[in-house]
Amino acid sequence: MAEKAELVEFEQAVLPHLGAAYNLARWLTGNDHDAEDLVQESYLRALKFFSGFRGGNSRPWLLTIVRNTCYTWLRRNRMEDLTAELDEDMHAVDFATSNPEAVLLAAARRDLVQRALEDLSPVLREIVILREMEGMSYKEIAEVTAVPIGTVMSRLARARARLEELLADANPTGARA
């Protein structure tokens, strides 16, 4: 069992990234319950191996554990199903002050983007999630995914181009989603 000082250090270094860990797990598994279970398992693994953490930015270190835990689980349980279904309530925007037309347009845009993200391959989707939703640097993404920075940049460019295609195909009128 970890000593009290190590537990305090672990909490300070890793707990602030719980939201990012859940977000990544949610997008990789496509399910709230599975994401919660996998984040819990990831945190247990992180605690177990925290003595091997060399300091520095704990976020990429933790998200690497979350990513590996999710992919291991997906390979065991749902190899054929690697698309994510977004929970509408989790990402809902407060439209109380908007008019009904604005609410409908925003919901339609959100659905288009969600479907486009889900249509990306898991490798491209995770790059977009880490960069655009988690705001990670190319260097941090390279650490998490264990690929060179150039590969991160290339995948991100391909993902953005593919998203643009998917959104254009889904919106043939040419109006911006």
List, for residues 125-171, the tens digit of each pLDDT value.
Answer: 999 999 988 899 999 999 999 999 999 999 999 999 998 888 888 76
Out of 1.10.10.10, 2.40.30.10, 3.30.559.10, 1.10.3470.10, the CATH code matching 105-170 is 1.10.10.10
The residue ranges of every structural domain in the chain are 4-77, 105-170
Helix (H) or strand (E) holding 167: helix 149-170
Buried b (16+ CB within 10 A) or exposed e, 128-151: bbbbeebebebebbbbbbeeeeeb
Distant-in-sequence, close-in-space partners of 149: CB < 8 Å, separation ≥ 6: 138, 139, 142
- Was domain 4-77 assigned CATH 1.10.1740.10? yes
Q: What's the predicted TM-score (pTM) here?
A: 0.68
User: At 119, which amino acid appears?
Assistant: D
- Comparing CA positions, the residue from 50, 43, 7 lying closest to residue 24 is 43
